[in-house]
Amino acid sequence: MGRAQGALLGLLSLAGVGAFAAYKKLGSVIKDRLERYASKAAGTAVSVREVSVNPWTGAGSIRGLVIGNPAGFKTESVFRVDDIRVRLEPKTLLSGTIRIKEMVLDSPVLTWELGPGGGNLGRIRKNLEARTGTKVKNGKRAVSETSERRLIVERFVLRNARLRVARSGLDGPVLLPMPDLKLEGLGEGRGGDSAQQILSQILDATIRSGLDAAGGAGDVLRSAGKAISKTLGSLFKKKS
C-alpha cells in the first residue's frame, strides 16, 4: 500500500470516528433536553433510556420513555412507551428552528389512577396549565416563550395505545384500547414553539385521548364500586 492510499485510509478512519462521535453526542444532547423540558412541562420526573439520531438522514429513535406519576399516586408511571420513531429535516439541526417531519409512538401505555382526591391524569393537566400560565385546549396554545431553539412538528402519530385503569377495589388493572391520535402542524403558524410548549401540546392531547377512552371503563368502575359497597355492608353487619 502506497503512502497516498495509507493517508486516504487514515483520513477516512478519522472521519468515521468523528461522525460516530457527532452521532453519539447529538443523541445525548437530545436525551438531556427531552428529559429536562418534559419534566418541567408535566411537573413530574421523566426519563429516557436512549436517543439516537442520524444527523445526515434525520432518522432517529427515542427508546424507553417513562413519565413518572405525581406525588401521592401508587402506580409506577403515568405514561410509558418503548420506542418512538422520529424523522427530522437534517439541515434544520443547525438552524434556530428544528423541523420534525414525523414522530410516531407505537403501543404506548397511559395509566389512569383514581384516588379519593381525583385522578393522576387530571393532576398532570393542571401541572401543564400551571407551568405555562395558560390553559391548553384542543392541542393548541397561545403562549409565546423565548428559547434558544424552536421546534415544528409536522406530524405526530399515537397508535395502538392502551389505557390502564387502576383503582382500589378492582381485582387488577383494566386495559382499554385508545383511539389513534394524529396532530399536524404543531408550531407551524408561529415559526416554531419551544420544546416545553410542543411537549405540553402532545402530552395534553394524549391525556385527553385517554380520558375519552376512559368512558368505556364506566361499567367496570361502577361494578367495582358496587363490589366495594357490598363488602363494606357485610363488614358492618358482622360487627352489629
Predicted local confidence at residue 196, as pLDDT: 86
E strand segments, 16-161 = 46-53, 59-68, 77-88, 97-106, 109-115, 118-119, 150-159
Instruction: Give me the pLDDT at residue 132, please.
Output: 60
150, 206 in Cβ contact below 8 A?
no
Contacts 24+ apart (CB under 8 A), 73-76: 73/113, 73/115, 73/120, 73/123, 74/113, 74/166, 75/111, 75/113, 75/120, 75/164, 75/166
For the cut 70, the answer to whether the pLDDT of residue 124 exceeds it is yes
> For the CA atoms of 54, 44, 64, 32, what is the dihedral angle to 10 degrees?
30
Cα–Cα dist 175/236, whole Å = 33
| Residue 169 confidence (pLDDT) | 55
Q: What average pLDDT does the segment 212-229 reach?
A: 57
Q: What is the pLDDT of residues 76-112, one digit of tens each?
A: 899 999 999 999 999 998 889 999 999 999 999 999 9
- Cell for 118? 381525583
Return the pLDDT at 229. 42
Q: For the residues 33-55, what does the mean pLDDT come to? A: 92
15, 19, 20, 22 alpha-carbon torsion, rounded to 10°: 140
Between CA 173 and CA 165 the distance in angstroms is 5
Helices vs. strands in the chain: H and E counts, helices first: 4, 10
The predicted pLDDT at position 141 comes to 46
Residue 17 has pLDDT above 50, yes or no: no
- Compute the distance between CA of residue 163 and CA of residue 84 in angstroms, rounded to an integer: 18
Residues 6+ apart with CB under 8 A from 87: 58, 59, 60, 100, 101, 102, 103
